Amino acid sequence: MSPTDYEIIKSNPLFIPGAKDDIYRFITTNNNSYDLYFSLTDERDYKLSNGNNIKNITTSLIPTIFFSLTERGLDTLTFDELTDKGEKFEVMGKIIFLINEYDKIHNYKLYSVGEVSKEKYKFYSYYLHNLPQFEILDGKSDNYNGKKCYYLVK
């Protein structure tokens, strides 16, 4: 984890009308601005990779977590492209710190992260294990159109 200064921006909801999403904005040492989104979603009762159903863990809304350069906004054409700015270790360390900060305030039992390539998943999972309060499982997601996603489960 890499402690970082950040600002919290409340934004209009991406998925749940009437909810407010949180964006945690931070700056890297190279002066690049990133946004870490916590956007509330509602999931069906999918079975997770450990055999448990989502509704056995929580019946509340589930934050989905994603991030990108601030300048990209939510541009679907560039949002998921790698930045290639040579700061992936710093960015991931700050993201893990900020997920932990968000969890201290909101204390959800379940979070989701969209499916990524195997290479990205290996990299992300290395960092996600720095959040010992969570087990990393996979399962389907309505938010990701029935595709696989990863769940952080307390």
What's the pLDDT tens digit per position in 68-107?
A: 889 887 765 555 666 677 888 899 999 999 999 999 999 8
Helix, strand, or coil here: 37? Answer: strand
Handedness of CA 79, 149, 15, 101 (dihedral sign): negative
Q: What is the CATH number of the domain that holds 98?
A: 3.40.630
Q: Is the pTM of this model over 0.95?
A: no
Domain membership of residue 1 (yes or no) is no
Give me the number of domains the chain comprises.
1
Exposure string of 85-102, with b = 16+ CB inside 10 Å and e = fewer, is: eebeebbbbbbbbbbbbb
Domain membership of residue 2 (yes or no) is no
Domain of 24, in residue numbers: 7-153
Whole-angstrom Cα distance, residue 65 to residue 49?
19
Domain membership of residue 75 (yes or no) is yes
Question: 32 and 83 in contact (C-beta within 8 Å)?
Answer: yes
